[in-house]
Amino acid sequence: MEDGIVIVISGPSGVGKSTICKEAVKRLNNAHLSVSVTTRPKGEGEVNGRDYWFISKEQFQQRVSEGSLLEYAEVFGHLYGTPKDKVEEALRAGKTVILEIDVQGAKKVKVIYPAAVMIFILPPSRKELAERMNLRARENAQAFEKRLNEAGAEIAVAWQYYEHMVINDDLEQAVKEVVQIIKQSIGEKE
């Protein structure tokens, strides 16, 4: 069987990446959503192994030392990484592997997998992103402001590194666009 392809989906916090990724996997044949490891605490309703693999900083550092992470980064005080073995296993099985990762990690993945398809999810506006982030209410005002400023920096960098920009103004439309980009990338007909 042919090797699969890597699809990188990034975007600022609160833009709807997780929802778009999960929907895309449902609508694509042979797609696999990579589950990242993280040191951040498990959120309400999150399931270990489905949303993230929640591990300690020591366990994370062990994985870094072993070289078992494809990429990793510190984001807002927590460590996130992509398990290399799971991605390689899915690629060998011919799957379309979707990585929902930040811009830092995406740049590293593009070096390892030059054929990776890079998709960045944009908010319709800064105001809309602020409202979405506020609805999530995961942090205090200072952390909120930091995330919002970081989003601007991420978007600026994304224009340099990503081939595809999708505005998530209408969720269904954004999912359709992402699925269409992936299908075109893997040569699948509509």
DSSP structure string for 47-114: -BTTTBEE--HHHHHHHHHHT-EEEEEEETTEEEEEEHHHHHHHHHTT-EEEEE--HHHHHHHHHH-T
Work out the pLDDT band at 127, boundaries 50, 70, 90. confident
* Percentage, residues of the chain above pLDDT 90: 65
> Comparing 69-73, 146-150, 167-171, which segment has the lowest mean pLDDT?
146-150
Give the C-alpha distances (Å, rounded to integers) separating 83 from 33, 60, 86, 115, 145.
12, 11, 6, 19, 30
Mean pLDDT of 28-38: 95
The answer to whether the beta carbons of residues 174 and 20 sit under 8 Å apart is yes
Q: Which of 103, 108, 155, 89 is nearest to 128 (CA)?
A: 155
The answer to whether the beta carbons of residues 144 and 99 sit under 8 Å apart is no
SS3 144: helix
Mean pLDDT of 104-115: 94
Q: For residue 187, how many other CB atoms are within 10 A of its CB?
A: 7
How much is the pLDDT for 74?
A: 87
Work out the pLDDT band at 23, boundaries 50, 70, 90. very high
Q: Which CATH number fits domain 5-186: 3.40.50.300, 3.40.50.920, 3.40.50.2300, 3.40.50.1100?
A: 3.40.50.300
Work out the pLDDT band at 59, boundaries 50, 70, 90. very high
